[in-house]
Amino acid sequence: SSAPSNRKGHSAVVYHSSMYIYGGYFGIRGISQEFWNFHFDTRKWLCVSTLSPSTGPGPRHGHSAVVYHTGMYLFGGLMGLSEQKDLWKWDFASSSWSNIRTSQGPPPVVGHASIVFKDSMLIFGGGISNSSPIDDLWKYHFHTQTWK
């Protein structure tokens, strides 16, 4: 199709003159791993293809994403019934995903918020399906690739 279908729980970021959306929940049709680009000037959607379809964050919703320099960083979310705590980077220059492995970090979380502040990504709140929301604040430093 030429545009993404209805969804919720996807992420959206802006890089240069485009908006990029990833994933989301379709309802009865399940969870998406679609990655779309909306160009503000041409007002056209483009499905972003990865070099290898098997590499990447996979279908999820309730995750968060931010842009730092030439990368989109995607964290957490729900895959099926399983909350995630993985961190992925989409490199806009090479059009490829990489999994960023870290020793510590936030617990698996869904429905949190994230922003970039200076050289870090801050993640706040969220939770897991059958529990109360949490008030944890985590900081991922892009240069040292460490969580605090």
10-residue mean pLDDT profile of the chain (148 residues): values are 91 98 93 95 90 80 98 96 96 95 92 98 92 92 97
**Domain assignment of residue 4, yes or no:** no
The confidence score (pLDDT) of residue 95 equals: 92
**Domain assignment of residue 2, yes or no:** no
- Hey, what are 72's tokens? 């989109």
**Domain assignment of residue 6, yes or no:** no
**Domain assignment of residue 3, yes or no:** no
What's the CA gap between 69 and 130, in Å, rounded? 36
Q: Which CATH number fits the domain that encloses residue 37?
A: 2.120.10.80
Residue type, 11: S
Residue 15, domain extent? 11-147
The confidence score (pLDDT) of residue 128 equals: 87
**Domain assignment of residue 42, yes or no:** yes
The confidence score (pLDDT) of residue 41 equals: 98
Pairing of strands 64-68, 44-47: unpaired
pTM > 0.75: yes or no: yes
What's the CA gap between 8 and 90, in Å, rounded? 21
The confidence score (pLDDT) of residue 53 equals: 58
The confidence score (pLDDT) of residue 1 equals: 60
**Domain assignment of residue 59, yes or no:** yes
What's the CA gap between 69 and 120, in Å, rounded? 11
The confidence score (pLDDT) of residue 27 equals: 87
The confidence score (pLDDT) of residue 50 equals: 60
**Domain assignment of residue 48, yes or no:** yes
**Domain assignment of residue 68, yes or no:** yes
Long-range contacts, 134-143 (Cβ 8 Å, 24+): 134/107, 134/109, 136/106, 136/107, 138/105, 138/106, 140/73, 140/75, 140/87, 140/102, 140/105, 142/68, 142/69, 142/73, 143/119
The confidence score (pLDDT) of residue 18 equals: 98
Please state the domain count of the chain. 1
